[in-house]
Amino acid sequence: MKKLLLLSFFAFIGMSQTNAQWGFCEPDLIYQDSSFGVYPPPLSATNPDGGITEKACVNSDFFFVFTIKIPNMIETTVLNINVDSIILETAEAAEIAGTEGAILNLPAGMTYAMNPSGGIFTPADSLACITIFGAPQVANTYDLKIIMTVYSQDLAIFGGSQTFELPSNLIPGAEGNYYLEVLPNGDPSCFVDTDDILASSFAIRNLPNPFSDFTNIEIVADYS
């Protein structure tokens, strides 16, 4: 029983790390009733707590999720656009084309993935998400931009589509920046003692043992 629980424990940790590494994401349902935009909202003078609040470290895995609200209509400072679809270039397509793709200014060592994975979003989807992930290689502050193309019959004069760079001053509430700060190796904020993650030893037992209908799982850790 102990071996089975221990293997399940580490299998769960491994599965979680693998999902993050692959860039799997789920949109945050808290933004279901929001207007068009990328969330969390960008960092700006009116939103000092916005943007990417977590810091990355050189050669360390980093993972961050943007939620995109897909509306029926986008209100801009120029005109209102009834949305047919919104398309973002996938990382795979960008690699083939030799472009930066849907996320500009990502540090070397990082990439992105989307849900839906094909990068085609419609108002029926309501919410989508983009995850940036990987191990950045160079310490710096990166001003990230999200590039998306909106398709609409209202844009016939522009050939049926228009490309937007978010954050954007053209869309009320979407102004600001998404700064990703990558700290150098050796920065105190990047140092994590292994004792903070795993104790030097631990034991797992279930009480009562043997049991029939239910049991309590007890984990005893030793940091000495």
Has residue 2 got a pLDDT over 80? no
pTM of this structure: 0.75
Residue 188 preceded by cis peptide, ω within 30: no
- CA 197/CA 61 separation, integer angstroms: 15
Half-sphere exposure of 57 (CA within 13 A, CB side): 10
Is 173 exposed, middle or buried, given 0-12, 13-18 or 19+ CB atoms closer than 10 A? middle
**Tokens coding 6:** 């221990």
Percent of the chain with pLDDT over 90: 61
Residue 208 preceded by cis peptide, ω within 30: yes
Backbone angles phi, psi at 105, to 5 degrees: 75, 20
pLDDT in tens, 74-132: 998 888 999 999 999 999 999 999 998 999 999 999 999 999 999 999 998 789 999 99
pLDDT given for residue 213 in this prediction: 61
C-beta neighbour count of 71 within 10 angstroms: 16
pLDDT given for residue 119 in this prediction: 94
Has residue 198 got a pLDDT over 60? no
pLDDT in tens, 49-78: 999 999 999 999 999 999 999 999 999 888
DSSP annotation of 140: E
Contact 124, 160 (CB under 8 A): no
Interior/surface letters 76-114, b for 16+ CB within 10 angstroms, e for the rest: beeeebebebbbbbbbeebeeeeeebbbeebbebbbbbb
Contact 209, 215 (CB under 8 A): yes
Q: Which residue has the tokens 């990328």?
A: 38
- CA 86/CA 107 separation, integer angstroms: 25
pLDDT given for residue 28 in this prediction: 93
pLDDT in tens, 208-219: 656 566 666 666
- CA 165/CA 216 separation, integer angstroms: 52
- CA 67/CA 69 separation, integer angstroms: 7
- CA 161/CA 147 separation, integer angstroms: 13
